[in-house]
Amino acid sequence: MLPLRLGLRMVRGLSNLHAARILAARAESPFESIEDVWRRSGVPVAALEKLADADAFASLGVDRRQALWRVRGLGEAPLPLFAAADALGSEPEVALVPLTGGREVVEDYRTVQLSLRAHPLAFLRGELGPKVTTCAGLARLKDGARVEVAGLVLIRQRPGKGNVTFITLEDETGIANIILWQRKFEAQRRIVMSAAMICVKGQMQKEGEVIHVVADRLEDLTPLLHRVGAMDFPHRYAPADGGKGVPPDPRKAKAREVIKVKTRDFH
């Protein structure tokens, strides 16, 4: 599998000027540490904090939480080279508790609107139950089959004054195209317009490789996204989670923020 690297333009709030300075410094020689980026690029600490928040320092072997800790420990301006080396050597190592896999994904979506680690639905697949097929699994079903499919809402589209709304869902396997007729839309308007994650129950239409699901009923699964931040992947439960291998109740977890997906809506 080939690696995929995201560009600095994906980092929310990072200016073009600061990105250009970082790229110019990196072109001279690879960076060796966060301090090296700071010293050679000349960008302010606030810019480095945005990079750390987006997990940009993972390529230097520093995870998101450790990177934020180190960036916030930097001064107002870089010290002279030898003084900086002495200060770095005297800085005590701090062992921070790593984020759960789900929390990392939540933070990825918060900062760059996607994650290269895992898709949120990969954490929730066991919660959805066997009746809910994956988006890729629709291709194995026959035309006219009754189906249930769930995913993040990527696109809502209602052409002109037509009586149909098209919705695109995404799970860990791909996308599914949903058709929602006007009568069904009006009955479920709130879910259509506000839900970040939905489950669609309906009938599949299949012609060659073109697949649609004509929706009958929608279920708002946005509250389920609140669980992702407290989960790990694959799911592992420690004795402290409740003992005797009993998984904790994710509904009691205090996740700080639900995954927010920026949808593309056309009306």
* Average pLDDT value for residue range 154-180: 93
Domains with residue ranges and CATH for the chain: 8-98 (no CATH), 120-225+259-266 (2.40.50.140)
Residue 66 has pLDDT above 80, yes or no: yes
Q: pLDDT at position 1, please?
A: 60
Q: Name the band, by pLDDT with cuts 50, 70 and 90, for residue 90.
A: low
CA distance 13 to 258: 20
* Predicted confidence band of residue 82 (pLDDT cuts 50, 70, 90): very low
Q: ∠ CA 221-211-228 to the nearest 5 degrees?
A: 25
Angle formed by the axes of helices 34-41 and 16-28, to 10°?
A: 110
| Average pLDDT of the segment spanning 160-189 | 94
Structure tokens at 165: 């709304």
Mean pLDDT of the chain: 85
Residue 238 has pLDDT above 80, yes or no: no
Instruction: Using the predicted structure, report yes or no on whether residue 258 has a pLDDT greater than 90.
Output: no
Mean pLDDT for the stretch of residues 215-222: 97
pLDDT value of residue 28? 96
* CA angle, 242 then 246 then 249, to 5°: 70
Burial class of 218 by CB neighbour count within 10 A (0 to 12, 13 to 18, 19+)? buried
| pLDDT tier at 240, thresholds 50, 70, 90 | very low
pLDDT at 233: 61
User: pTM (2 decimals)?
Assistant: 0.77
